[in-house]
Chains A and B, each alone.
Chain A
Amino acid sequence: MPVKTGPSSTSPRADAEPTPGGAVPHRARPAAPSVIEFRGVEKRYDVGAVGLDQATFSIQRGEWVFLVGSTGSGKSTVMRLLIKELEPTAGTIHVAGKDLGEITRKRVPYYRRNIGVVFQDFKLLPNRTVHDNVAYALQVTGGTRKEIRAKVPDILRLTGLSTKLHNYPDQLSGGEQQRVAIARAFVNHPPLLLADEPTGNLDPETSIGIMQLLYRINRAGTTVVIATHDNAMVDKMRRRVIELQQGRIVRDEATGSYVRDESTREFAVRMRDGLPESPPTVEKR
Chain B
Amino acid sequence: MKLGFFMREASRALRRNAAPSFAALATVLLTMLVVGVFIPIVQATTGAANDVRKRVLVDVYLVRGATQRDADRVRQQLLDTPNVKRVEFVSKQDAYQQQRKKDPEAFALLGANPLPDTFRVTPENPDDVLKIAAALAPEAAGGGHTPIDRAIDEVRTRRDDTTKILEVTRFVKLMAGTLAALLIAASIFLIANTIRLSLYARRREVEVMKLVGATDWFIRWPFVIEGIIVGALGTLLAILLLAVGKIAIIDPLASDFSLISAPETMPFTILIAVMMAAGIAISAVGSAVSLRRFLRV
A residues neighboring B (CB under 8 Å): 83, 85, 109-113, 117, 123-127, 136-137, 139-142, 184
Contact = CB atoms under 8 A, between A and B. Distances in A.
8 contacts: A109-B216, A112-B211, A125-B208, A126-B205, A137-B212, A139-B5, A140-B218, A142-B2
Nearest to B215: A109
A140 B205 contact: no
Given A126-B205, A127-B12, A127-B17, A83 B212 contact: no
A139 B204 CA distance: 19
Contacts, number: 47
Given A83-B211, A112-B213, A140-B212, A127 B5 contact: no
B5 A109 contact: no
A235 to B, nearest CB: 30
Contacts of B214: 109, 140
B199 interface: no
Given A125-B205, A127-B205, A136 B212 contact: yes
Nearest to A112: B213
Given A127-B12, A127-B13, A109 B205 contact: no
Instruction: Say which size band chain B's interface belongs to.
Output: 20 to 34
A261 B122 CA distance: 103
B233 interface: no
Contacts of B218: 109, 140
B210 A109 contact: yes
Contact of B211 (A123, A139, A141): A123
B213 A140 contact: yes
A142 B1 CA distance: 10
Interface in B1-36: 2, 5, 12-13, 16-17
A141 B213 contact: yes
Interface in B185-222: 204-205, 207-216, 218
A141 B205 CA distance: 17
Interface string B232-247: 0000000000000000
A266 B208 CA distance: 35
A124 B211 contact: no
Contacts of A111: 213
Closest 9 CB pairs of A and B: A113-B213, A112-B213, A127-B16, A140-B214, A109-B215, A123-B208, A109-B213, A137-B212, A140-B213
A28 B12 CA distance: 56
B13 A85 contact: no
Contacts of B209: 125, 136, 140
A112 B297 contact: no
Contacts of B17: 127
For B12, B210, B212, the residue with the greatest tally of chain A CB atoms inside 10 Å of its CB is B212
Contacts of B216: 109
B162 to A, nearest CB: 64
Given A85-B297, A127-B12, A127-B17, A110 B213 contact: yes
Contacts of A109: 210, 213-216, 218
A124 B215 contact: no
B212 A184 contact: yes
A58 B78 CA distance: 95
A126 B204 CA distance: 10
A112 B208 contact: no
Contact of A117 (B2, B13, B211): B211
Nearest to A142: B2
Nearest to B205: A125
For B12, B16, B214, the residue with the greatest tally of chain A CB atoms inside 10 Å of its CB is B214
A193 B218 CA distance: 23
A177 to B, nearest CB: 13
A92 B215 CA distance: 24
